Amino acid sequence: MFNRSNRKNKSGAYLIRAIIVSAAFMIFSNSAFSNDVFPARYHTYLEVMDILKNLQSSYPEILYMDTLGFSNRESIPIYRVKISDNPSVNEDEPAVLFNAGVHGDEVLGVEAALNFVQDIVKKYSQGNSEVIGLIQRLEIFVIPIFNPEGHIVVEQGDLDWRKNKSDNESNNIFDHHDGIDNNRNYDFGWNLDNDISATTPGSLMFKGFYPFSESENQAMRDFSWKYRPIIAIDYHSPVFGQSEVAYYSWLWHPDDGGQGYSPDESLMKEVCEEFCSLIITDAGNSHYKARRALVNKGDMKTFFYGNFGSVVFAVEISDTTIQNQSIVDDIVARHLPGQYYLLNRALGSGITGVIKDSVTLEPLEAEIQVLEHINDDISPRFSRPEFGRYHRLLAPGTYTLKFIKNGYRTQTIPGVVVGSDEPAQTDILLVPINPVPSTPELLSPSNRAIHITGNVNFTWEPAIIAAGYVIEIAEDELFRSIVIFDSSLSTTQYQMPQPLTDGSYYWRVRAFNSNGFSGYSEKRYVDIITTDEPYIIGDVNNDQQVIGSDVTYLVMYYLGIEDPPPIEINGFFPGADVNGNCQNDISDVVYLVKYFLGRNVLIDGHCFDTRSNE
């Protein structure tokens, strides 16, 4: 059981220290910002970005750099890197997050995150089989500087600045009344943080006027709901409180409306203790310690565990914010074993699976309950909507899983055995109570097809349990200017009652039955070009449409396998001259491929007239 008096004494001592630090900061620094020298060993924001850009340039096959979001006041990009085998593509793989630089003065976390990126890329380049396996099976995200505004303030000499630079007084002047603590601006637990240090704008720990007021936190919220990391690390360094520790979730005290320890207490403690045991302290005579965190503010670890069940730790690196430059390399190197342990643990014992609609086989975002690890303190844990995939770390054992989604019959699966080496796979087909049809798949015309007649026949594959279909044909891709809307179709084709006039059109289909409508199919683009000429540009095989088979025909012709294009005038094939240069050569193949990729338009050079006069 938890010790109530011990909790109050410790949290009270930390609070007193926090208030003292904040008060001293405001009193002695209120007249002007300090002007100390940012130690050269630590990286500036621009230096970090340059390193990451160079790594992406050198290793584009595994590292992709993009923007998480932008800072609240100055719209400075918050960069993140993704390390995976297809880094620019969202894949059906567990996500792991390393986040740093939340507080401007806590720069050791930035160095630990950056060093990890450099180290894993180096090991990959050396052919390290363990690292290659991790990259192939995980989506690894690293945000080296979550609070770029605060980091840059520290770079410029105010080594105690912690918050971002939000203009709390709306006066367009940056002073010590400004800034919000990004690690107190999440919604989960925000209402519990009512001490003066959290509610005073000039405090170092001001939580903001309302949860998610800051664009940085909004960006992390959106990222986390998209990827739902299975493991997350948030790097800090102690301004007050304990040093060289990792805090895991959680103790939500009944006095604050909670139910005590989290339902995953034993797992969180076990993983955190193993992680800490791999990180040697600065003194070299011990290792980091695992500590249970309180639910008492809107911080990242509370938000991640409360909503997603992530194994998430707040790691306090070293015993100060800006450590002596001479030991920084050693500090970040000592964190690598813990970082790699977490990557491997993400692939270890737990549960995983894909949840789909039993009728349409489309992936579902559904709730997954582990009945042995649940209470009213935590939010429902959901699968990822684009894949239907769920992940959850668990200790080896036997569990009962429950799958819930509105409009579907709940399923309970007892006796799911989790081993010690890899997650147990349990795929689920949820049965809809009132099923709607599957989404139709379009057949013809193909995307970006060109027709020389407006009498187009539109066709699609039958949808499961469909009673009928709706086709929409529009002049714009947003379907605001609809020219055809027909909901009376009982078959999988639509023949134009009257020819379409020349122009560009978009079309899509959806199915329906007595329970409702399916989703829309993909949208396709078709050009109608009526002409008196005996050919159409791009219609190499003269089948009255421009589609992918024309590329194949042209390639086979140049390889000597296929006959010449059917339309020939004075030894020239006008339909195959897609770039309008009045020549037939291999450049037409390249040009036609780029057309289907949407990179150019077909050009009629009117070479027929030119050549007929030769």
Residues 451 and 362 in one domain: no
Helices 45-58/108-125 angle, 10° precision: 10
One domain, residues 321 and 448:
no
Please choose, from the candidates 428, 372, 375, 412, the residue with its C-alpha nearest in 3D space to the C-alpha of residue 396. 372
Strand partners, 63: 83
Please tell me whether residues 399 and 288 are part of one structural domain: no
Contact 99, 146 (CB under 8 A): yes
* CA distance linking residue 163 with residue 103, whole number of Å: 6
**pLDDT value of residue 527:** 84
Instruction: State the residue for tokens 């997603």.
Output: 308
Q: Which residues contact 521 (CB under 8 A, 6 or more apart)?
A: 439, 440, 441, 442, 460, 508, 509, 510
Sign of CA dihedral 150, 152, 155, 158: negative
Q: What is the CATH number of the domain that holds 464?
A: 2.60.40.10
DSSP 209-272: SSTT-SHHHHHHHHHHHHH--SEEEEEE--SSS-SSEEEEEEEE-GGGT--EE-TTHHHHHHHH
Domain extent, residue 484, equals 442-528
Phi and psi, residue 85, nearest 5°: -75, -20
Q: Which helix (H) or strand (E) holds 139?
A: strand 139-143
Question: 511 and 372, same structural domain?
Answer: no
What is the rounded distance in angstroms from the CA atom of residue 131 to the CA atom of residue 84? Answer: 10
> How many Å apart are CA 53 and CA 376, to the nearest integer?
44
Assign residue 37 the CATH number of its domain.
Answer: 3.40.630.10
| Burial readout 366-380 (b: 16 or more C-beta within 10 A, e: otherwise) | bbbbbeebeeebbee
Residues 241 and 205 in one domain: yes
Judgement on whether residues 163 and 201 belong to the same structural domain of the protein:
yes
- Tallying the residues shown for the chain, one arrives at 614
Whether residue 425 sits in one domain with residue 456:
no
27 lies in the same domain as 82 = yes
Judged by DSSP in three states, 175 sits in coil
State residue 534's pLDDT score.
67
| Residue 252 located in a structural domain | yes
pLDDT for the residue numbered 32: 44
Tracing tokens 């791009």 back to the chain, one arrives at 538
In a domain, 542, yes or no: no
341-355 exposure pattern, b = at least 16 Cβ within 10 A, e = fewer: bbbebbbbbbbbbbb
Contact 332, 373 (CB under 8 A): no
Q: What angle in degrees, to the nearest 10, is found between the helix axes of 328-345 and 265-277? A: 140
What's the CA angle centered on 467, arms 462 and 469, to 5 degrees? 65
pLDDT (0 to 100) of residue 241:
81
Same structural domain, 200 and 102: yes
**C-alpha distance across the termini of the chain, in Å:** 98
Residue 312 CB partners (closer than 8 Å, separation 6+): 229, 231, 232, 233, 234, 248, 249, 300, 301, 304, 305
User: How many domains, in total, are found in the chain?
Assistant: 4
Tokens (6 digits) for 413: 């699966």
Give the end of a domain, one of 345, 370, 389: 345
Which domain-ending residue is among 470, 495, 528?
528
Instruction: Tell me, yes or no, whether 340 and 381 share the same domain.
Output: no
Instruction: Return the HEC string of 329-355.
Output: HHHHHHHHHHHHHHHHHCCCCEEEEEE
Q: Which of 269, 231, 277 is nearest to 393 (CA)?
A: 231
Please give the DSSP secondary-structure letter assigned to residue 141: E
* Number of neighbouring beta carbons within 10 Å of residue 362: 13
In a domain, 277, yes or no: yes
> Based on the domain organization, do 253 and 108 belong to the same domain?
yes
Residue 607: the pLDDT is 63
| Ordered mean pLDDT values, 10 residues apiece, the chain (614 residues) | 38 48 45 74 98 97 97 97 96 98 98 98 98 98 98 96 96 95 97 95 95 98 98 94 95 96 97 98 97 97 97 97 96 98 98 95 96 96 97 98 97 97 97 94 88 84 96 95 96 92 94 94 88 75 87 90 84 84 88 87 66 38
How many whole angstroms from its chain centre is CA 41?
32
- Whether residue 201 contacts residue 207, with contact meaning beta carbons closer than 8 Å, is answered with no
Final residue of a domain: which of 474, 496, 528? 528
Q: Which residue has the tokens 């002596």?
A: 324
**Tokens found for residue 489:** 């179709």
pLDDT at 538 (0 to 100): 87
